[in-house]
Amino acid sequence: MTMFSIPKDESEQEKHEIIIVGSGPAGLTAGIYAIRGGADAILIGGYSSGGQLMLTTEVENYPGFPEPILGPELMKRMREQVERLGLKIIDKDVTKINLKERPFKVHVEDTTYITDSIILATGASARELNMPSEQKLKGKGVSYCAVCDGAFFKNTDVVVIGGGDTAIEDSIYLSKIAKTVTVVHRRDKLRAQAILQKQAFSIPNIKFVWNSVISDIIGEKKVEAVKVVNKIDRHENTLNCSAVFVDIGHIPNTSLVEDQVELTAEKYIKLYGETRTSLDGVFAAGDVADHLYRQAITAAGMGAKASLDALRYLQTIKG
């Protein structure tokens, strides 16, 4: 099963049996199974490859690592494993996917990759608050990644918004850098796992503001404060801070295919069975199709299943 080049028309074309889009745990695991299954596969991973684990600190729930492993280190090892097996990885962004005609087309700069089977593993991105002051102060104190930006706010007061695993993990991480971390959560109970909650509640410089949301972020050139509204008594308070870490969940990265495969009401790729989408030959794995589990290990498992399904599909079209 070999790759061949088609003569140039308006752009370079390259055909493969399976194209995997995305380089998080789902995409890389799909790569391992595709290559080991004997397929001519490539992975297009984006300029900032590695997915959300690149933005996390210690991972202690990925089996095989008795001691916690840093998210970026885990992704580096997954990548090394799949490259050793022979998968070609293209570290560029996909600009367009055409699933309306067969073979499918995946566009990357001047090259068009054509394929019989595609695995969508494009993950999810941080959800934003959607307020003008957030847009104005992005990168000037408004951040979506504590690991990336936390060090800029040494010994200052910072705010974390959200009550899930990400918010609480980030708060614990930031508590070691910042003077105080104030978690503003819209309810009076955290969604985060019990072990993280217990840890956060025991750290003296992490404070909680319950039943509250941010109504505005104040500052011209950098974040200076946030306005916090209590949802029960509508009381508004100003909280001085130098940074706001927005950890309010994620939205699936489906814009490349949204009018071409069926999506759920929340814009995740709709699955039929384990990894099949509404189009034969198009499979999905990881956070782009999973609103429920969203773990590195479940994404990796879905990636393996997607490749096994794609390999089976290739057999059926070969007859």
Contact set with ligand NAP (CB under 6 A): 61, 161-167, 169, 186-187, 191, 213, 247-250, 294-295
Nearer to ligand NAP, 15 or 291 (CB): 291
Nearer to ligand NAP, 83 or 210 (CB): 210
Number of H helices, E strands in the chain: 7, 20
In our burial notation (b when 16+ CB lie closer than 10 A, e otherwise), range 102-122 reads ebbbbbbeeebbbbbbbbbbb
Q: Which of 91, 110, 116, 145 is catalytic?
A: 145
241 as an active site residue: the answer is no
CB of 228 to ligand NAP, least distance (A): 11
What is the Cα–Cα distance from 307 to 39, expressed in whole angstroms?
9
CB of 264 to ligand NAP, least distance (A): 15
145 as an active site residue: the answer is yes
CB of 70 to ligand NAP, least distance (A): 12
**Residue 74 CA: distances (Å) to CA of 71, 120, 188:** 5, 21, 34
Nearer to ligand NAP, 186 or 227 (CB): 186
What is the Cα–Cα distance from 181 to 109, expressed in whole angstroms?
43
CB–CB of 226/217 below 8 Å? yes
Nearer to ligand NAP, 184 or 257 (CB): 184
Q: Which of 9, 91, 110, 149 is catalytic?
A: 149
What is the Cα–Cα distance from 59 to 91, expressed in whole angstroms?
24
CA 164 to chain centre: 15
Ramachandran angles phi, psi of 24, nearest 5°: -85, -165
What is the Cα–Cα distance from 319 to 312, expressed in whole angstroms?
11
Nearer to ligand NAP, 56 or 115 (CB): 56
Nearer to ligand NAP, 85 or 148 (CB): 148
149 as an active site residue: the answer is yes
CB of 252 to ligand NAP, least distance (A): 12
Contacts of 292 (CB under 8 A, 6+ apart): none
CB of 212 to ligand NAP, least distance (A): 9
What is the Cα–Cα distance from 137 to 107, expressed in whole angstroms?
33
What is the Cα–Cα distance from 23 to 53, expressed in whole angstroms?
10
CB of 220 to ligand NAP, least distance (A): 24
Q: Which of 40, 93, 116, 148 is catalytic?
A: 148
User: Active-site positions?
Assistant: 145, 148-149
